Amino acid sequence: MTCIELKNVTYTYPLSKTPCISHADLVIEKGKFYAVIGANGSGKTTLCNIIRGFIPEFYQGELEGSVILDGKNLNEYTLGELAPKIGYVFQNPFNQITGARDNVYEEIAYGLENLGVPVDTIRKKVEEVMEITNTVYLAKKNPFELSGGQQQRVALASVLALEPDIFVIDEPTSQLDPKETERVFDIIDRMKKMGKTIILVEHKIELIAEYADDVIVLENGCVIRSGEKHEVLSDLSLIEKGIDLPQTVLLADELQKKGISVDEKIITKEEMAQQLKNLIGR
């Protein structure tokens, strides 16, 4: 079932002469995990802001085409109506922190408080998301005194607490170490299993290959590829466009050149191991 649809969307920032997003067509289906990739400045964050409705509301500028959420044009919703439907984790976690509360526990509870959720439920929910995001030990700290990685996890926790159906998450692991990065993907995987729709901007291609369903590739504001991850991530022509591909795709290509016939649409280590096992015949 389609939950979000972009139809011929073109967007130009105020004072900008050229569009930042051009003629984008996208269909987002409920319950699927989409990874958005593309070079710096290709328009990933802008696309997220369009989907969340911050564009044109906050950023102004000119938005052409239509963005449809659950069958209704996005401009027919107020930002307040969109907030509980689409959770948004900002690229810079500093922007997520409200500053209204002076410790992490209260910061995470803040959104629920605003919705008038009963105290007992808030406590349960906050404790649960703090556990999931490994932020329990930060409960009494000032949110502004955290490291970038800690702030990223608190930002994720405060969005998780609100339990939206759709999550737009802009580079949540940019300041995290590999272990914490895996943890974030694990959280997203759990959210997916709960039936949530996920739109994730991320550069870590091996993790995208493992966890995502579909991949959307942006180049200079244009959606140049979009589809099932094996189809998109095995497209060697993307390398010339500065897009990283999984190591196994490059290895499969090398094997092909050496006359060893393997499936080129191998995007994870596990799939490669299986192929090699089949080849060896054991």
Give the Cα separation of 51 and 69 in Å (integer). Answer: 9
- Judged by CB under 6 A, the stretch of 42-50, 109-117, 248-256, 267-275 that binds ligand ATP is 42-50
Q: Which amino acid is at 209?
A: A
Residue 55 and residue 11 in contact, taking contact as beta carbons nearer than 8 Å: yes
The residues, ordered by sequence, that sit 6+ positions from 5 with a Cβ below 8 Å of its Cβ are 26, 27, 28, 66, 67, 68
Q: How many residues does the chain have?
A: 282
Q: Applying CB under 6 A, does 91 fall inside the site for ligand ATP?
A: yes
C-alpha torsion 205→209→214→216, nearest 10:
20
Nearer to ligand ATP, 13 or 94 (CB): 13
- Token pair of 20 as six digits: 């930042």
Q: Indicate which of Mg ion, ligand ATP, none lies near residue 158 (CB less than 5 to 8 Å, by partner kind).
A: none
Nearer to Mg ion, 54 or 105 (CB): 54
- Judged by CB under 6 A, the stretch of 40-48, 93-101, 146-154, 261-269 that binds ligand ATP is 40-48
Q: Which amino acid is at 71?
A: G
Q: Applying CB under 5 A, does 42 fall inside the site for Mg ion?
A: no
The count of other CB atoms within 10 Å of the CB of residue 238 is: 20
Q: Applying CB under 6 A, does 44 fall inside the site for ligand ATP?
A: yes
x-marked contacts with Mg ion along 180-219 as a string, rule CB under 5 A:
----------------------------------------
Nearer to ligand ATP, 22 or 135 (CB): 22
| Cα–Cα distance list, 231 to 18, 270, 274 (Å) | 31, 17, 19
Could you tell me which residues are beta bridge partners of residue 156?
Answer: none
Q: Applying CB under 5 A, does 45 fall inside the site for Mg ion?
A: yes
- Judged by CB under 6 A, the stretch of 13-21, 96-104, 109-117, 227-235 that binds ligand ATP is 13-21
Residues that contact ligand ATP, how many (by CB under 6 A): 13
Q: Applying CB under 6 A, does 148 fall inside the site for ligand ATP?
A: no
Q: Applying CB under 6 A, does 43 fall inside the site for ligand ATP?
A: yes
Residue 98 and residue 107 in contact, taking contact as beta carbons nearer than 8 Å: yes
- Token pair of 83 as six digits: 């907030």
Nearer to ligand ATP, 41 or 148 (CB): 41
Q: Which amino acid is at 82?
A: L
Q: Indicate which of ligand ATP, Mg ion, none lies near residue 20 (CB less than 5 to 8 Å, by partner kind).
A: ligand ATP
Q: Which amino acid is at 16?
A: S
Q: Indicate which of ligand ATP, Mg ion, none lies near residue 13 (CB less than 5 to 8 Å, by partner kind).
A: ligand ATP
Residue 216 and residue 223 in contact, taking contact as beta carbons nearer than 8 Å: yes
Q: Applying CB under 6 A, does 45 fall inside the site for ligand ATP?
A: yes
Per-residue b or e along 168-203, where b marks 16 or more CB atoms closer than 10 Å to that residue's CB = bbbbbbbbbeeebbebbbebbeebbeeebbbbbbbb
Q: Applying CB under 6 A, does 20 fall inside the site for ligand ATP?
A: yes
Q: Applying CB under 6 A, does 13 fall inside the site for ligand ATP?
A: yes
* Residue list 50-79, contact with ligand ATP (CB under 6 A): 59
Nearer to ligand ATP, 93 or 111 (CB): 93
- The residue ranges that bind ligand ATP (CB under 6 A) are 13, 16, 20, 38, 40-46, 59, 91
